[in-house]
Amino acid sequence: MSKTVLITGATSGIGLATARRFAKENFKLILCGRRQERLDQLKAELSAHTEVTTLNFDVRDQKEVNKALESLPLEFKDIQILINNAGNAHGLDFIQEGSSQDWDAMLDINVKGLLYVSQPIIQQMIKNKDGHVINIGSTAGKEVYPKGNVYCASKHAVDAINQGMRMDLNQHGIRVGAINPGLVETEFSKVRFKGDDERADKVYKGFKALQPEDIADIIHFTVTRPYHVNIADLVVMPTAQASSTVVKKSG
């Protein structure tokens, strides 16, 4: 029987590429995001390969999250794989200049949202004695860079939650691991720079950035290991990147 995968942030970037990759491999998909039009398009596209359902909710709103999960049709209720991917950076500012709205967004989405989605699904995984949670962290969760302050804090929190989740769920046989990418060319920088496409595009100029499909491949590899193998914490960067602040660019 094919496994059911819930992917948050499936409307763009890493989540979207992962949805496409998993559809080809016949996993049953629960695709989540806030942009309904994109969810509808994706469902239409991927239903040719597998069973797909979509959920529209903002991960910041715990009531909305619970309501959405409760609304799942019976055949999608037992989730075996959770990919906690929804998240973004909002702004890139010195701490003395940062906006508290941006801080709230990053902590509420990247940290609290991940917890709100995870808890009910984990409770069900424990009951079913079957589950695998993949947390999408970042190199920003391993090191801090100038003006990255609160985004880095949010991803350091994901790193800590990943470790804590793995410890707490160890007795239940549930696999937990993080994938921590460096620079991936997605809508990430467009969101960070609030729609300033020129500034966003510059982030990925002069070197070959990771593509969302590269991360989708790694996620697929991670979930298809035999049960006794748990990829607990993996860092992946473009070859041109050595750390958050060392990137070999041409021109």
Burial 21-34 (b: 16+ CB within 10 A, else e): bbbeeebbbbbbbe
30 phi-psi bin (left φ>0, alpha ψ -120 to 50, beta other) = beta
Q: Which does 13 bind (CB under 5 to 8 A by kind): ligand NDP, ligand 8X3, none?
A: ligand NDP
Q: What three-state secondary structure class fits 236?
A: strand
CA distance 65 to 87: 15
Q: By CB under 6 A, is residue 110 in contact with ligand 8X3? A: no
Q: Which two tokens stand for residue 89?
A: 């950076």
Who's near 145: CB < 8 A, 6+ residues apart? Answer: 152, 244, 245
Per-residue binding letters, 186-215, with ligand NDP (x by CB under 6 A)? xxx--x------------------------
Query: Among 116, 151, 204, 227, which one carries the catalytic annotation?
Result: 151
Q: By CB under 6 A, is residue 172 in contact with ligand NDP? A: no
Of 8-16, 36-44, 68-76, 138-146: span binding ligand 8X3 (CB under 6 A): 138-146
Q: Which of 25, 58, 64, 213 is the binder for ligand NDP (CB under 6 A)?
A: 58
151 is catalytic: yes
CA of residue 88 relative to chain centroid, distance:
9
Q: By CB under 6 A, is residue 83 in contact with ligand NDP? A: no
Q: Which does 244 bind (CB under 5 to 8 A by kind): ligand NDP, ligand 8X3, none?
A: ligand 8X3
Gyration radius from the chain CA atoms: 17
Nearer to ligand NDP, 130 or 157 (CB): 157
The residues binding ligand 8X3 (CB under 6 A) are 138-140, 148, 182-183, 244
